[in-house]
A and B are shown apart, each in its own frame.
Chain A
Amino acid sequence: MWAPFEKRLQASRIALLTSAGLYLKASQPKFDVVREQDNPEWGDPSWRSIPAGADAAEIGVAHLHINDQDILADPEIALPARMLSELASEGVVGGATAEHLSVMGYQDRGLEDWRLLTLPALVGVLRDRQADGLILAPA
């Protein structure tokens, strides 16, 4: 399936999605790594909205399959929201969505919960925010 990119980049609003398990420490629950400890085949299928202006200090990482040290030091390596805003201010892209998306990439093989629950929510946010394109970065 192929959705052509119709607009010029300079007139487009871009969103980012990371699967590094990023969340806002003060206001969002962690991805459920406790349940995964008890049931290693399971991975939390939920998602988080990360505001484009979030500070590194506000961001936590809940992902048991990667070393989170570098992402905590500089979340831009997983979700380059500030760099995207910079490119928008320079006119390289039309703009960035006000919020970006985060999931935790370790999922059960069938991806049923992602497909049935998470996908419609993600698509809903992208449409609400009028995203013209999405950059996904697996962790």
Chain B
Amino acid sequence: MPVLARWIEAAGIPTVVVTMMPAVAEERRAPRIVGVEFPFGHSFGMPGDKAMQRRVLELALRVLAGAAAFRTRVDIDIEWPVPLRDAYKAWQPKEASPIVKKLLATWGRA
């Protein structure tokens, strides 16, 4: 996604990436970054929590329009309301993805 942001930016359209992995986005040179310490699949917050979603979206807009330099990063100060250990279990897909199944099978044979 940081790479896609860079390409779109190269076409002249300013971008901001809202991401659970801001360090990776920095490393991959995303032009503007908003870091969220949320589980995967939840870039803008908890389902049904409009106030939280609004805070993330407003920060993204401010960083998009206001960042003074390439690779500006702002991390949002919101704590996930569920203990992250439980939250991380919950964002796993119900069934392992094909690549995970393949890797597990490979490791099983090793």
Dominant SS among interface residues on chain B: mixed
Cβ 8 A contact of A70, one of B20, B41, B56, B57? B41
Chain B 19-48 interface mask (CB, 8 Å, partner A; 1/0): 111000000000100000000111111111
Given contacts A111-B3, A138-B43, contact A77 B53 (CB under 8 A): yes
Contacts of A78 in B (CB 8 A): 41-44
A53 part of interface (Cβ distance < 8 Å)? no
A73 part of interface (Cβ distance < 8 Å)? yes
Which residue of chain A is the closest to B30 with respect to CB atoms? A136
Cβ 8 A contact of B41, one of A9, A38, A71, A115? A71
Interface size on A, residues (CB 8 A): 59
Which residue of chain B is the closest to A41 with respect to CB atoms? B99
Given contacts A64-B98, A137-B19, contact A70 B47 (CB under 8 A): yes
Contacts of B64 in A (CB 8 A): 5, 9, 14, 133, 135
Cβ 8 A contact of A14, one of B53, B61, B101? B61
Contacts of A83 in B (CB 8 A): 44, 50, 53-54, 57
